[in-house]
C-alpha cells in the first residue's frame, strides 16, 4: 500500500525516497524506496543498529542526497533547492537534536539558543528575550550564563532542545537524543519533544527505547533499509 501524502495535514513527506551507498566492490541499500506522509505529532523510528534509521533522517534533513526520490516539506522539494537555499530553508523549517548536543562550546547556554535567531536576523533584544523564555521552558533559566562544559549532559541536551525550538520549526528531527542520558534526564528531554508534537509540530524521533516508542503517535520500523509503518 502506498501512503500518498495529504498536503492538507502533512508538512513532511518522502516520495520514493532511497539511498544506495557504494560499499567495497558493490553497494549497500541503506534505504529501500520509501513513500510516506509524516503526520503532525510524534513519529518514532525504531529498528536495529545499521538498519538505515540515520540514513532516513539525513535524507529528510537534506544533509544527504537521495539515490531516488524526493523529500517534500510544506510543498517545497528539498533537494531541488541549491545548497545555499537549502541551508536557509532548513534553518527556517527544521529543528535538530542529535545524540551529542552539538552546542557551540565557546557560547553560553543563552547564546547557543540565540544563535539560530541571530542567523534569522531577529534583533538582539527580541532574540535574547525569546532565548531566555525558552531556557525557562526547559527548566534552565538559572543556567543561561553557563558554557556547555559547565552543564551536565542532560542540561546540555535540554539547551539543544531549546535551540532546536527557537525558530518554532514545523519539523523536528531527533536522532537518539536521549541515548547518552540516564532515564530520568532522558524523560525530561523527551517531554519537551512530546510537548512540541502535541502542539502540532512534526517530530521524527529515532529511538532504541521501547518506552519512548510507546509514547509516539506513530511508529516506523526499519529493517535492512526497509521502512514499515506499524499499526
Ligand atoms: N556514508 C555512508 N557510506 C557508506 N555506507 C553507509 C554510510 N552511511 C551509512 N551507511 C550504511 O548504511 C546502513 C545504514 O546505516 P545507518 O542509517 O547509519 O543505520 P542506523 O542509524 O539504523 O544504525 C549501514 O549498513 C551503514 O553501514
Ligand atoms: Mg543511527
**Residue 48 sits in a domain of what CATH number?**
3.40.50.300
Question: Residue 16 falls within a domain, yes or no?
Answer: yes
Question: Residue 90 falls within a domain, yes or no?
Answer: yes
User: Which of 18, 50, 65, 221 is the best mutation target for the ligand 1 pocket, counting ligand atoms within 8 Å of the beta carbon and taking the most?
Assistant: 50
Question: Residue 2 falls within a domain, yes or no?
Answer: no
Question: Residue 6 falls within a domain, yes or no?
Answer: no
Question: Residue 25 falls within a domain, yes or no?
Answer: yes
List pLDDT tens digits, range 17-63: 999 999 999 999 999 999 999 999 999 999 999 999 999 999 999 99
Ligand positioned closest to the Cα atom of 50: 1
Question: Residue 157 falls within a domain, yes or no?
Answer: yes
Domain range for 217: 12-230
In ligand 1, which atom is closest to the CA atom of 55? 17
What pLDDT is recorded for position 3? 52
Closest C-alpha to ligand 1, atom 6: 21
Confidence of residue 7 (pLDDT cuts 50, 70, 90): very low
Q: How far apart are CA 107 and CA 131, in angstroms?
A: 13
Question: Residue 5 falls within a domain, yes or no?
Answer: no
List pLDDT tens digits, range 187-196: 888 888 999 9
Q: How far apart are CA 219 and CA 231, in angstroms?
A: 8
The number of folded domains in the chain is 1
Q: Name residues whose C-beta falls within 8 Å of residue 153's C-beta, 6 or more positions apart in sequence.
A: 101, 180, 181, 185
Q: How far is ligand 2, taken at its centre, from the CA of residue 123, in Å? A: 37
Amino acid at each position: 500500500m502506498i501512503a500518498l501524502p495529504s498536503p492538507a495535514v502533512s508538512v513532511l513527506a518522502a516520495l520514493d525516497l532511497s539511498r544506495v551507498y557504494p560499499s567495497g566492490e558493490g553497494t549497500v541499500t541503506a534505504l529501500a524506496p520509501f513513500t510516506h506522509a509524516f503526520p503532525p505529532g510524534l513519529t518514532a523510528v525504531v529498528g536495529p543498529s545499521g538498519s538505515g534509521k540515520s540514513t532516513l533522517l539525513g535524507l529528510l534533513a537534506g544533509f544527504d542526497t537521495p539515490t531516488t526520490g524526493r523529500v517534500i516539506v510544506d510543498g517545497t522539494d528539498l533537494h531541488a533547492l541549491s545548497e545555499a537555499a537549502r541551508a536557509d530553508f532548513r534553518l527556517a523549517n527544521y529543528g535538530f537534536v542529535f545524540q551529542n548536543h552539538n552546542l557551540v562550546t565557546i557560547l553560553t547556554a543563552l547564546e547557543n539558543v540565540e544563535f539560530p535567531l541571530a542567523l534569522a536576523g531577529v534583533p538582539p533584544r527580541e532574540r535574547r528575550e525569546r532565548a531566555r523564555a525558552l531556557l525557562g521552558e526547559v527548566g534552565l533559566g538559572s543556567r543561561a550564563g553557563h558554557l556547555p562544559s559547565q552543564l551536565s549532559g542532560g542540561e546540555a541536551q535540554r539547551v539543544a532542545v531549546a535551540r532546536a525550538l527557537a525558530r518554532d520549526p514545523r519539523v523536528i528531527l531527533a536522532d537518539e537524543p536521549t541515548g547518552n542520558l540516564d532515564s530520568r534526564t532522558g524523560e525530561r528531554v523527551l517531554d519537551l519533544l512530546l510537548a512540541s508534537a502535541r502542539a502540532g509540530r512534526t517530530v521524527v524521533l529515532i529511538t532504541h527505547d521501547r518506552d519512548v516508542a510507546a509514547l509516539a503517535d506513530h511508529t516506523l520500523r526499519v529493517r535492512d533499509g526497509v521502512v514499515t509503518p506499524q499499526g
